Amino acid sequence: MTDHHPEDVPLVAPSADPEDRAVEAALRPKNLDDFVGQKRVRRQLSLVLEASRLRGRSADHVLLSGPPGLGKTTLAMIIAAEMNAPLRITSGPAIQHAGDLAAILSSLTEGEVLFLDEIHRMSRPAEEMLYMAMEDFRVDIIVGKGPGATAIPLELPPFTLVGATTRAGLLPGPLRDRFGFTGHLEFYSTEELELVLRRSAMLMDMKVSSASFAEIAGRSRGTPRIANRLLRRVRDWALVHGVDLIDARSASAALDMYEVDARGLDRLDRSVLTALITKFNGGPVGLSTLAIAVGEEPETVETVAEPYLVREGMLGRTPRGRIATAAAWKHLGLIMPATVAAAMPEDLFSVAPEDLMGSESALDSWARPDP
């Protein structure tokens, strides 16, 4: 097992490194009233929890889905706090056998909240055991092997399962249907991220101007985890340079030093777009070829850089390969050649970024090979 260093994680990666986890624990809100953003989910979840308290019963099982860094773990902790119940935390990859899950479930106390992160990565045998545990609060423990194996039923105390997933589509229907409430977390607006940053700066005893909050929020990719990480890097820059009050110019200088530009793109993002445009004339080009051109693994390009570039409408994923849109050329200060522009349909530029991910987007229909 290799040691993990914070520098192994890109500054604008939505995943958490050990430093993030330590700081997030101190910055996390403790109740729904303090939780910023996700108004729809907060309102619905508040109703679910209040109804459970009035009935004097454990809350329904909750499934939280959405990209990393938006607050799924924080909401799980808030659910436990609001229900005044203990919290048990585990993850799907840690449960590889049904026995692993049985050991956890059998040790739960009445009303306890079990948070299962990355629930889509749980093993199939454990998943099937979870069906019965969620619905009937019972599991069957298999003793012995072969024809002599016996199933011993084990009653479980009522508990609340909070599952979190970044890929809800990978969850089987029978598991999804057993959750009483499903909430999908959306990316944050710049205004919401400013509120997150103000709260974090107050907790970290930082003096930051309003313009600085807007500067940092605009580069945070709509993700609170990234916003807080950038805020800490700005704090470091201010400390080293002896700056007491962080203004917009200081924040901009700090983030420019870390190569995070005004749109939130970092070195890898710009490398992908630059290679796509300068080496392949805007594409289409295959993922593996593009990854080699930027000196990264295909998985890194696909999971770290592409989601945000697609969401910003700068990159398209098509059956023939990746292509750079007019927005990418413009962001890099380049002019798209008329021949490249002519090859793209006019309605491409009116397609919402989230629609570019679908298989029936304007990009896909344009790039689909002829039958």
Q: Which residues participate in the annotated binding site for ATP? A: 27-28, 69, 72-74, 135-137, 178, 188, 225
Catalytic residue among 160, 165, 166, 318: 166
- Residue ranges at the known binding site: 27-28, 69, 72-74, 135-137, 178, 188, 225, 317, 322
Q: 201-210 b/e with 16+ CB inside 10 Å = b? A: beeeebebee
Residue 73: active-site member: yes
Half-sphere exposure of 332 (CA within 13 A, CB side): 24
Question: Pick from 241, 234, 237: which is nearest to 216 by CA?
Answer: 234
Residue 166: active-site member: yes
Contacts by 106-111 with C-beta closer than 8 Å and gap 24+?
106/139, 106/154, 106/156, 108/156, 108/157, 108/159, 109/157, 110/58, 110/157, 110/158, 110/159, 111/58, 111/83, 111/85, 111/157, 111/158, 111/159, 111/160
Catalytic residue among 20, 42, 73, 223: 73
- Residue ranges at the known binding site for DNA: 317, 322
Catalytic residue among 20, 42, 72, 235: 72
Between CA 29 and CA 41 the distance in angstroms is 15
Catalytic residue among 88, 219, 221, 225: 225
Residue 109: active-site member: no
Residue 370: active-site member: no
Radius of gyration from C-alpha coordinates of the chain: 24
Residue 267: active-site member: no
Under 8 Å CB-to-CB from 348, ≥6 apart: which residues? 316, 325, 362, 363, 366
Between CA 259 and CA 118 the distance in angstroms is 30
Between CA 276 and CA 155 the distance in angstroms is 58
The Cα diameter of the chain in Å comes to 74
Residues known to be catalytic? 72-73, 117, 166, 225
